[in-house]
A and B are shown apart, each in its own frame.
Chain A
Amino acid sequence: MTRSAPDPRPEPRLREVLLALARVALMNALQYREGFLVEFLVGSGNVVAILLPLAVVFGKSSTVAGWTWDQSLLVTGFFLLTSAVMGGLVEPNLGAVVEGIRQGQMDYLLVKPVDAQLASSLMRIAPAKIWDALSAVVVIAWGLHGTGMPGPLALLACGTMLVAGLMAMYSLWLLVICLSFWFVRVDNLRYLLGAVTDAGRWPVDVYRGVARIFLTVAVPVALATSWPAMALLDRLDGALIAQAVAVGGGSMLFSRWAWKRALRSYSSASS
């Protein structure tokens, strides 16, 4: 299925599209309120399960791979934040794309006069992930309480790293989803990706050799978890920041290209 002759109607403006998508996403999500409390329990249990082993480890030794307890809390906080963004904004959407390809609803999306990537990335949210985001804020604040407040430059660097890291993670997800245009049964790869992302919960220096490179380059979760924490601790130099921005921006462009490529080969479930 390709887009047919030029549409006579004017292209809607980006701002209107974004607002409309956000409204639809919110309305969809608010249909399912009951799960909210259970999700709160699940989220809290998750935070405890991440923090407890860390507490046990730091109970036995005061630094691990050059990181103190407070500094590791920052990484854990950014890990929770990344999980909240990925699980709340990215996964529900891209998961729906896989389903749409298998069952054919993708056709309806493609005939809409908006950019297909934009629409399929912003149509749904999982509001329960707000608990993860809140606990992320608490954990980061807890860590900062121990390490001291960073300066404005460090905050700026931290924000830059976080955005670059999230862009890289989003791109990786989009690439996996692109695969499903050719191989329909790759949605399980999402779980594998989720499992690998779990490794981002510790400071990246905990990993040695190949594993560290893998978590920075192949599955760049360290970019979104360890690097922002390092920025807050003034451990980053300009070169690393430039590198992160390049990786984040570059991966966005590459995944965009892959998405367009994948759309061209989409042949609808019904044909």
Chain B
Amino acid sequence: MAEAQTSLGILWRALPTLWRVAVAGIVAYRAEMVIWILSATLPLVMLALWDAAAAGGPLEGFGQVDFARYFAVTMVVRQLTGAWIIWELNYAVRSGSLSPQLLKPVNPLVYNLFETIAAIPWRLFVLVPVCAGFLAWRPEILFVPQMWRVALFMVSVVLAFAVAWLVQALFGALAFWFEQAMGIYSVHFALWSFFSGYIVPMALLPSWVAALARWLPFYASLGVPVDVLLGRAGPWEVGAQIGWVLLLTFGLQAAWTRGVRRYGAVGA
């Protein structure tokens, strides 16, 4: 127990420095970040399809305006919850560059978490012109949500970020055991894109699929905040998000401890 407290103390004192390093890292690679951010065009591609489908009239209560609004919010939430730890962790484990990182008093996972959070203001900055363009194209999507929905949305975005990051970190930790962790993640991505609301709004899935998908981590990592803001989800779904954050945190802790032990045992 004493050891845990000291490492928390170290973490506490290192926080400001960690933050500065993380921000500097993002600033150094800002052009690359812009390209990464702009590469997340799938919501727009999906919007085109739904928009054409709804041209003849609303589908299940979704008209063209609803689709435009839905995918605009989805695009923003996707950016706010973006993580890339699986690529870093996968590379670090396979190349052995994890070893020096493990010698540092601060857990490499924590450092990545900081870096990911530090990127968020920059993501917002790049999103402003994109959103402005979107609004100029479809001004009718502007709407004023209720205050409590905005507040719950903010909580839900933070939780969605946590779920997305934890899931990626868990898949990254698979690299301790499997060569093909990235491939497994790609398979997961296909499932995720369907069940998270990224390409199909939850309300348009067959009802029995939606009833199940509503409580899965895919939805918790993206769709919940979108639907909270647009009035299609509420406190229950946010509660499920909290549950997933707790569960995934325990899972990651267990996987990380075992993984690092195994990594050491290989002799790297």
Contact = CB atoms under 8 A, between A and B. Distances in A.
Given A38-B184, A211-B48, A188 B32 contact: yes
Contacts of B40: 195
A260 interface: no
B194 A52 contact: yes
B200 A52 contact: yes
B41 A196 contact: yes
B180 A56 contact: no
Interface stretch (A58-66, A132-140, A224-232): A58-66
Given A192-B35, A192-B38, A202 B45 contact: yes
Contact of B48 (A49, A52, A189, A206): A206
B56 interface: yes
B41 to A, nearest CB: 5
Given A48-B190, A191-B36, A60 B183 contact: no
A42 interface: yes
A115 interface: no
A218 interface: no
B8 interface: no
B48 A45 contact: no
Interface residues of A, number: 36
A103 interface: no
Nearest to A42: B186
Contacts, number: 96
Given A191-B39, A195-B39, A64 B179 contact: no
A41 B187 CA distance: 7
Interface string B171-194: 000000001100110110111011
B17 to A, nearest CB: 28
Contacts of B186: 42, 45-46
B133 to A, nearest CB: 11
B168 to A, nearest CB: 17
B90 to A, nearest CB: 13
B204 A35 contact: no
B187 A53 contact: no
Given A38-B183, A207-B48, A60 B190 contact: no
Contact of A202 (B49, B189, B204): B49
B52 A205 contact: yes
Contacts of B184: 38
Given A53-B194, A195-B40, A198-B41, A64 B52 contact: yes
Contacts of A185: 31-32
Interface in A59-85: 60-61, 64-65
B10 interface: no
Given A57-B50, A191-B36, A205-B52, A42 B60 contact: no
Contact of A56 (B32, B44, B52, B200): B200
B246 interface: no
Interface in B157-211: 179-180, 183-184, 186-187, 189-191, 193-194, 199-200, 204-205
Interface of A: 34-35, 38-39, 41-42, 45-46, 48-49, 52-54, 56-57, 60-61, 64-65, 185, 188-189, 191-192, 194-196, 198-199, 201-202, 205-208, 211
Given A52-B200, A199-B45, 14 more contacts: A34-B180, A35-B183, A42-B187, A49-B191, A49-B194, A53-B49, A53-B194, A53-B200, A56-B205, A57-B49, A64-B49, A188-B32, A191-B35, A195-B41
Closest 8 CB pairs of A and B: A45-B190, A38-B183, A49-B190, A65-B52, A195-B39, A188-B35, A206-B52, A38-B180
